[in-house]
Amino acid sequence: MNVDIKASQMKKSSVFLIFFCFFLFFCLSGGRAQEVASNRECQKCHSNPNLKKNLPDGKVISEYVDFELFYRSVHKKQACVYCHIDATNFPCKNLQKVNCQRCHYKGNLAGAPDINKYKEYSESVHGRALALGDVKAPMCQDCHGSHYIFDKADTLSRTNKENIPQTCGICHLNIYTVYEASVHGEALRKEHILAAPSCIDCHGEHDIKEHTDPKSSVFLTRVSATCAKCHANMELIKKYNIPVEPVETYKESFHGVAIKFGATTVANCTSCHGSHAIFKMDDPRSSIYKDNIPKTCGKCHPGASQNFARGRIHVNPAKKEAGIIYYVSRFFKYLTMTVMLSLIIYIILDLRKKIIVRRKGEE
Partner 1 sequence: MEEQITVMRFTRSQRVQHFLLLISFIILIITGLALKYHDSWLGKLIINLEGGIIARGLFHRFAAVLLIITAFYHFLYITFTRYGHDEFLSVLPEWKDFKDAFQSVKYALGLSSEHPQVDKYAPQDKFQYWAVVAGSLVMIATGLILWYQNQAMIILPKWIIDITQVVHGYQGVIIAVVILLWHLYIVHLSPKRFPMSRIWIDGKISLEELKAEHPLEYERRYKSISNEEK
Residues that bind partner 1 (CB under 8 A): 254, 257-258, 260-263, 301-305, 307-313, 315, 317, 322-325, 328-329, 332-333, 335-336, 339-340, 343-344, 346-347, 349-356, 358
Cβ neighbors of 325 (< 8 A, separation 6 or more) are 315, 317
Instruction: Please answer whether residues 126 and 137 qualify as being in contact, where contact means their C-beta atoms are separated by less than 8 angstroms.
Output: yes
CB of 252 to partner 1, least distance (A): 9
> With respect to partner 1, which residue has the nearer C-beta, 240 or 308?
308
Is residue 259 packed enough to be buried (19+ CB in 10 Å), middle (13-18) or exposed (0-12)?
A: buried
Q: How far is the CB of 259 from partner 1 (least distance, A)?
A: 9
Q: Whose Cβ is closer to partner 1: residue 284's or residue 303's?
A: 303
Nearest residue (CB) to partner 1, 83 versus 309:
309
Residue type, 299: K
> Quick one: 224 or 275, whose CB is closer to partner 1?
224
Q: Which is nearer to partner 1, 243 or 323 (CB)?
A: 323
In whole angstroms, how close is the CB of 211 to partner 1 at the nearest point?
22
Q: Do the beta carbons of residue 207 and residue 128 sit within 8 Å?
A: no
**Which is closer to partner 1, CB of 110 or CB of 343?**
343
**In angstroms, what is the minimal distance from the CB of 350 to partner 1?**
6
Q: How far apart are CA 209 and CA 215, in angstroms?
A: 7
Q: How far is the CB of 283 from partner 1 (least distance, A)?
A: 21
Give 85's contacts (C-beta < 8 A, 6+ positions apart). 102
Q: What is the dihedral of CA 276, 282, 288, 292, to 10 degrees?
A: -110
Q: How far apart are CA 202 and CA 256, in angstroms?
A: 19
Residues 6+ apart with CB under 8 A from 268: 220, 221, 223, 224, 255, 259
Phi and psi at residue 262, to the nearest 5°: 95, 5
**CB of residue 342 vs partner 1: minimum separation in angstroms?**
9
